[in-house]
Amino acid sequence: FDRTKTREEIYAIDTPPPTVSGSLHVGHVFSYTHTDVVARFRRMRGKEVFYPIGWDDNGLATERRVQNYFGVRCDPSLPFDPTFDLDRLDRPDDGAVPVSRPNFIQLCERLTAQDEKAFEELFRRLGLSVDWTQTYTTIDEHSRRASQRAFLRLLDRGLAYTVEAPTMWDVDFRTAVAQAEIEDREIEGTYHHVRFDRADGKGTVEIETSRPELIPACVALVANPSDERYSSLVGKIVLTPLFGAEVPVVAHELADPEKGTGLAMICTFGDITDVTWWRELRLPAHVVVQRDGTIAPSRWGEKGWDSSDPEGATRAQNEIAGLPAKKARRKIAELLDASGHLVGEPEPVRHVVKFYEKGERPLEVVASRQWFVKTMDLKEELLERGRELRWHPAYMGARYTSWVEGLNGDWCVSRQRFFGVPFPVWYPVRADGSIDHEHPLAPPESALPIDPSSDVPDGFTEDQRGAPGGFVGDPDVMDTWGTSSLSPQIAARWEEDEDLFTRLFPMDLRPQAHDIIRTWLFYTVLKAHLEHGTLPWWNAAISGWVLDPDRKKMSKSKGNVVTPIDVLERYGADAVRYWSASARLGVDTAFKDEQIKIGRRLAIKILNASRFVLSFEAPEGAIADPLDRSMLRRLAEVVEEATRALEDYDNARALELAERFFWGFTDDYLELVKSRAYGSNGPEPAGSAISALRLALDTLLRLFAPFLPYVTEEVWSWWRRGSIHRTPWPGTDALEAAAADADPLAYEVAAWVLGEVRRTKALAKVSLKTQVERVVVADSPERLTVLAGAERDLREAGNVRELVTVEGDDPSVEVVLPRA
């Protein structure tokens, strides 16, 4: 990359950093080819292309892989051990060796270096023209510094804040998760009809719930204010069954009269609606689900846990304490049945429940202290950024819009994991030993990156860690998107090389797949908006997925993953690239061997046709023949259209145009001029053909170069100096000049007549060599005139003795074969 070029001369790409702990996948060759075609095209158009490559080695995938591979586990409470040596570890027989976070990061870098090699090998083989000197990893020092700097600036401006609040929580990973990482799954559940007794003894009410184990967390019942069935009940008190807590019946718009009995139980917390009700109706909290997903022991009788029957409540609670939600549910159902509060039989249902995308059990809502980045106040601005961005294809913008519109809370960026970029803050410890979360201690930017578990804030010493009057480090790490959302800034060396940064940012292109619009794309837009007040790039090119031949998404668990190296070995990189580039942006594409074979055939055809064209020795001559000129005129149109398509990120269309012309070129034009090029009509007509052939070949090779870099470079090396990938993209000037006054019809009409001759021979089941006695062409005067210019070529190509033309309204070709 030539960094002396100005922003206008540069085309900058925010290359996706692949997750190196994942496996190689044909999806990689697919979407990365889309980007490489763009890069090669822009380069030939004269742009200085900034095309970096990063490796995403930050996050859960790496954490798990490093753990398993080395037999260690990250323990941020440990200090950095500079003498750490894997080979001299005392390994406990029963588990993993705890290591500090800085040591864990070193192991990660060591392991991912191997994974990166595998990716690099694949990418080089595929012919990706990325700049191997512009690399980064998402856990390296530079990326950590950028992530922490961005965070501290948000903190400074009050855009990042910490608060203790209910958030979505995965009980297996034991971490908070963000809305963007949540997915719906349909699972088996059970509806229970449960009776609540009124505290005044004037009857009972019924609710329906799929989570009876949360009855001890029930703090109210709720009905819609317009629901007349319950209008007299609102304001009254009911007793929770089994636990005897006195809870009010309240009214709220979100209660749906259509659901269940129209009366719902508000628990702290069963789902996000509960959180809304709890907050807006200012209800107390009775939290019973613990961070590991089990039910907490009884607190009945304590302050805030009033019950009309504390002993009974405690007994009931102790029946379920320590049980995971599912088991507790069955137990509570039994208890309700025994106490007569269960109405009828529980009904099995299939219902939609929220899961962490990597998780195995439904998410719980757990109150915990987390870091958030403000997004809710910015919805309108973010929607405007989405409109400002040029989406390819345009309809993908709708996914961004619906995501932003549906945001229901600020971005929860903290994770209770061990590996990742730590929050660069400490908290003062008060004299009583409690932690003052309201006044975090931040390091100066010049000190970044830091690890608060090993580093010490200014004005403190290590022995004050955790001590009254001392400090503690923030134990959490950032969401993996907290780092990758800065990929343009990281690659462009934000704040570390301002000269470079201003030449690159905002970038031109973000290529990625559609499944991470709500995460990677959204967070990148958000960060750039907050920090720089601009989009991070002007274009987003969204690739589809690769599906298996049965149109199912490929995944390791389904065992239908195709290994890209195998495919490259079998068909060659050009063939695989052809298949990828043939798919339009945004469209999910099935992987089929047959489709890849077509690309291989094209590449081989280019090789053979080129060998043929270049087999004719110069001298070249002036391009004077009307057929030659006509062909070049048509080629100029193709160049123009293909260029327009590529400018508009429509790779598939450009490839299709070049390919269609090329097949006609070999099937018709080469056959038509072959004899003349051999000199059947003397040196000057031959020179015209040879010159036209070479000009067309030169143009076609460059048209194909972004798609088929290997075969085009090979042929280029036969007769030209330097790399084809450094030559300019073909323009129309040379073609127009050579075509001069040509009528584009000549090529078309000649090819049509030749086709008719071939058809007649094929239907007669004779060899194409067979001589034709006479061909009679009936057509309009205009077409007959241009045909006349190609008569000799046509007769030689079709081995036609006599060509007769007649004017007629109904175009036809009569082919007279000799009698058998």
Judged by beta carbon, residue 453 or residue 582, the one nearer RNA is: 582
765 sits near RNA (criterion: CB under 7 A): yes
The least CB distance from residue 395 to RNA, in Å, is: 4
- CA–CA gap between residue 140 and residue 393 (Å, rounded): 34
Question: How many angstroms from the chain centroid is the CA of residue 697?
Answer: 37
By CB under 7 A, the residues from 118 to 177 that bind RNA are: none
Contacting RNA (CB under 7 A), which of 264, 336, 342, 382?
264
543 sits near RNA (criterion: CB under 7 A): no
- CA–CA gap between residue 348 and residue 337 (Å, rounded): 16
Element (H, E) at 778: strand 772-779
The least CB distance from residue 121 to RNA, in Å, is: 24
Contacting RNA (CB under 7 A), which of 656, 713, 714, 736?
656
Q: Are 527 and 381 in contact (CB under 8 A)?
A: no
Judged by beta carbon, residue 39 or residue 575, the one nearer RNA is: 575
262 sits near RNA (criterion: CB under 7 A): yes
Q: Are 222 and 209 in contact (CB under 8 A)?
A: no
594 sits near RNA (criterion: CB under 7 A): yes
- CA–CA gap between residue 559 and residue 350 (Å, rounded): 27
SS3 173: coil
By CB under 7 A, the residues from 794 to 813 that bind RNA are: none
557 sits near RNA (criterion: CB under 7 A): no
**Which candidate, 616, 636, 759, 642, places its Cα nearest to that of 696?**
636
442 sits near RNA (criterion: CB under 7 A): no
SS3 719: helix
Which residues are paired to 365 by β-bridges? Answer: 168
187 sits near RNA (criterion: CB under 7 A): no
Judged by beta carbon, residue 110 or residue 759, the one nearer RNA is: 759
246 sits near RNA (criterion: CB under 7 A): no
Q: What count of other Cβ atoms lies within 10 Å of the Cβ of residue 657?
A: 22
681 sits near RNA (criterion: CB under 7 A): no
Given the rule CB under 7 A, which of 147-155, 256-264, 315-323, 368-376 is the region that contacts RNA? 256-264
65 sits near RNA (criterion: CB under 7 A): no
Given the rule CB under 7 A, which of 4-12, 533-541, 603-611, 709-717 is the region that contacts RNA? 603-611
Residue with tokens 């009214």: 251
By CB under 7 A, the residues from 5 to 24 that bind RNA are: none
Contacting RNA (CB under 7 A), which of 105, 122, 168, 222?
222
- CA–CA gap between residue 209 and residue 789 (Å, rounded): 85
The least CB distance from residue 190 to RNA, in Å, is: 10
The least CB distance from residue 403 to RNA, in Å, is: 5
By CB under 7 A, the residues from 495 to 514 that bind RNA are: 514
399 sits near RNA (criterion: CB under 7 A): yes
- CA–CA gap between residue 399 and residue 396 (Å, rounded): 6
- CA–CA gap between residue 706 and residue 727 (Å, rounded): 11
Helix, strand, coil percentages in the chain from 3-state DSSP, rounded to 5? 45, 20, 35
Structure tokens at 725: 């990938």
- CA–CA gap between residue 371 and residue 409 (Å, rounded): 12
The least CB distance from residue 183 to RNA, in Å, is: 7
The least CB distance from residue 633 to RNA, in Å, is: 18
Given the rule CB under 7 A, which of 75-83, 376-384, 682-690, 754-762 is the region that contacts RNA? 754-762
Judged by beta carbon, residue 192 or residue 629, the one nearer RNA is: 192
Strand 426-428 to 390-392 pairing: unpaired
Q: Are 743 and 634 in contact (CB under 8 A)?
A: no
193 sits near RNA (criterion: CB under 7 A): no
The least CB distance from residue 802 to RNA, in Å, is: 19
The DSSP line for 513-565 is: EGGGIIIIIHHHHHHHHHHHSS-SEEEEEEE--EE-TTSPBP-GGGT-PPPHH
By CB under 7 A, the residues from 83 to 122 that bind RNA are: none
By CB under 7 A, the residues from 446 to 485 that bind RNA are: none
Contacting RNA (CB under 7 A), which of 184, 334, 648, 814?
184
Name the residue type at position 460.
Answer: F
691 sits near RNA (criterion: CB under 7 A): no
Judged by beta carbon, residue 113 or residue 398, the one nearer RNA is: 398
Given the rule CB under 7 A, which of 125-133, 248-256, 627-635, 727-735 is the region that contacts RNA? 248-256
Q: Are 519 and 564 in contact (CB under 8 A)?
A: no
**Which candidate, 536, 559, 554, places its Cα nearest to that of 544?**
554
769 sits near RNA (criterion: CB under 7 A): yes
The least CB distance from residue 138 to RNA, in Å, is: 22
Given the rule CB under 7 A, which of 197-205, 619-627, 728-736, 756-764 is the region that contacts RNA? 756-764
Question: Pattern of binders to RNA over 27-46, x per CB under 7 A?
Answer: --------------------
SS3 603: helix
Contacting RNA (CB under 7 A), which of 77, 318, 339, 402?
402
Given the rule CB under 7 A, which of 92-100, 198-206, 655-663, 711-719 is the region that contacts RNA? 655-663
Structure tokens at 344: 């009828």
Q: Are 724 and 702 in contact (CB under 8 A)?
A: yes
Contacting RNA (CB under 7 A), which of 309, 515, 641, 736?
515
The least CB distance from residue 543 to RNA, in Å, is: 13
209 sits near RNA (criterion: CB under 7 A): yes
Judged by beta carbon, residue 89 or residue 352, the one nearer RNA is: 352
Judged by beta carbon, residue 663 or residue 718, the one nearer RNA is: 663
667 sits near RNA (criterion: CB under 7 A): yes
Q: Which residues contact 421 (CB under 8 A, 6 or more apart)?
A: 58, 139, 143, 144, 147, 148, 449, 477, 478, 482, 483
The answer to whether the peptide bond before residue 393 is cis (omega within 30 degrees of 0) is yes
551 sits near RNA (criterion: CB under 7 A): yes
By CB under 7 A, the residues from 563 to 592 that bind RNA are: 584, 587-590, 592
By CB under 7 A, the residues from 290 to 309 that bind RNA are: none
680 sits near RNA (criterion: CB under 7 A): no
814 sits near RNA (criterion: CB under 7 A): no
Tell me the site size for RNA, rule CB under 7 A: 84
Dihedral (CA of 340, 266, 359, 422) sign: negative
Given the rule CB under 7 A, which of 58-66, 202-210, 318-326, 440-448 is the region that contacts RNA? 202-210
By CB under 7 A, the residues from 408 to 427 that bind RNA are: 408
By CB under 7 A, the residues from 327 to 386 that bind RNA are: 351-352
User: H/E/C letters for each residue in 76-134?
Assistant: CCCCCCCCCCHHHCCCCCCCCEEECHHHHHHHHHHHHHHHHHHHHHHHHHHCCCCCCCC
785 sits near RNA (criterion: CB under 7 A): no
Contacting RNA (CB under 7 A), which of 220, 609, 636, 658?
609
Q: Which residues contact 301 (CB under 8 A, 6 or more apart)?
A: 307, 310, 313, 314
Q: Are 176 and 168 in contact (CB under 8 A)?
A: yes
Judged by beta carbon, residue 128 or residue 596, the one nearer RNA is: 596
The least CB distance from residue 117 to RNA, in Å, is: 30
Q: Are 244 and 307 in contact (CB under 8 A)?
A: yes
Question: How many angstroms from the chain centroid is the CA of residue 406?
Answer: 20
Contacting RNA (CB under 7 A), which of 333, 367, 407, 565?
407
Contacting RNA (CB under 7 A), which of 185, 387, 601, 801?
601
